[in-house]
Amino acid sequence: MSQPIRVLVVDDSLVMRSLLRMVLASDPAVELAGMAKDGVDALEAMDRLKPDIVLLDIEMPRMNGLEVLAELRSRHATAKIIMCSTLTRRGARITLEALAQGATDYVTKPTSQNGAADAVATLARDLLPRIKALFPVPEARNPHTAVSSASDALHHKKPEIVVIGVSTGGPAALETLLPMLPADFPVPIAIVQHMPQLFTAFLAERLNRECALHVREAVSAMRPEPGTVSIARGDWHLEFAKLPFGSGQMLRLTQTMPEHYCRPSVDTLFRSAAQAYGDAVVGVVLTGMGSDGLEGCKVIRNAGGRIIVQDRATSAVWGMPGVVAEAGLAHRVLPLPAIAAELMRLCLSRSLTPALKR
């Protein structure tokens, strides 16, 4: 955007409103459009100020964040809304519900900070890139993204593992993709979703209720099994390791250094999958900001595996999938609903439809 991104702050805490004011004042690409101290004031301010984006607290008097979100979605269907969440069990559950109901993204409020300066620095690091990722600056791009030819797929081994990397917009994307796969999908699935601890456990629980597949948060020494989806635990990398005294693979969680400031990292998962499964890997990169997954896709391609990425039109942010597509690493660039069909085509030996969980 040529003009600053106008932000409406909605929070009943005077301290939090003050911190967010300082954060927004620190970046010329954004500006404070206004503030509201509760949900009722927020709806009036939204109609009056018409901001580009809303930062919405969850716990507020008169109307809570979920009630305000529902009303905003009714009045302003395309509004961009970032939820301000707490790192608590309740905060994680409500945030995931908000994302399912149409919130664009979320940011966690700073905790255990040593004064306002540290709190502002933490919020600026986490929040400002999220805001700007939702309003990408137009730039010169290749007129066509490079996609491998269809005949390339004829020389691949039948898949033995599907690995998925996703970030901004991920919970909604996963709630679309995974329920389209049948309970007897014959290939294990492992996922890195950029989220903190607590959030990934609740995400797995929520997806497990929605899917025919069995969805779980990954634990070290678990075996990747057909019909099962393993989601990396927040703040832990997810990798594959050989089973002791036998053939096959098991899952392993590590806390080695973050990659691209991410732990869990898509690159870590993808690189490990290529090392464990070689050309029998399908890597899928869904919506998200940044470039985590790009290096991992290079490793999968070099090992002879396949790469599928979500297209720009259906991505909340075409950062992660976009850099992979523009690097010419993708065999397919597909709208989100078509990715499930492509996975079934690659992995199923017969035509199946989604089955009820047994």
Residue 247 catalytic?
Answer: no
Nearest to 310 by CA among 286, 326, 290: 286
Domain boundary pick from 101, 133, 165: 133
Q: Are residues 202 and 312 in the same domain?
A: yes
Q: Are residues 155 and 39 in the same domain?
A: no
Residue 167 catalytic?
Answer: yes
Domain count of the fold of the chain: 2
Residue 143 domain flag:
no
Q: Are residues 83 and 208 in the same domain?
A: no
Residue 141 domain flag:
no
Catalytic residue among 167, 230, 265, 315: 167
Give the model confidence (pLDDT) of 154-212 as tens digits.
Answer: 456 799 999 999 999 999 999 999 999 999 999 999 999 999 988 999 999 999 999 99
For the cut 50, the answer to whether the pLDDT of residue 150 exceeds it is no
Percent of the chain residues topping a pLDDT of 90: 77
Q: Are residues 194 and 236 in the same domain?
A: yes
Catalytic residue among 11, 105, 292, 311: 292
Q: Are residues 182 and 278 in the same domain?
A: yes
Give the model confidence (pLDDT) of 2-50 as tens digits.
Answer: 799 999 999 999 999 999 999 999 999 999 999 999 999 999 999 999 9
- Range of 19's domain? 5-133
In 68-168, at which residue ranges do the beta strands (DSSP E only) sit? 80-85, 105-108, 161-166
Residue 194 catalytic?
Answer: yes
Q: Are residues 165 and 243 in the same domain?
A: yes
Task: Mark 192-201 as b/e (b = at least 16 C-beta within 10 Å).
Answer: bbbbeebbbb
Instruction: Give the Cα separation of 181 and 227 in Å (integer).
Output: 9
Domain boundary pick from 133, 159, 180: 133
Residue 56 domain flag:
yes
Q: Are residues 323 and 225 in the same domain?
A: yes
Domain boundary pick from 81, 107, 133: 133
CATH number at residue 49: 3.40.50.2300
By CB neighbour count within 10 A (0-12 exposed, 13-18 middle, 19+ buried), where does 40 fall?
middle
Residue 142 domain flag:
no
153 pLDDT band, cuts 50/70/90, is very low
Q: Are residues 275 and 214 in the same domain?
A: yes
Q: Are residues 68 and 189 in the same domain?
A: no
For the cut 90, the answer to whether the pLDDT of residue 260 exceeds it is no
Residue 271 domain flag:
yes
Catalytic residue among 194, 311, 315, 331: 194
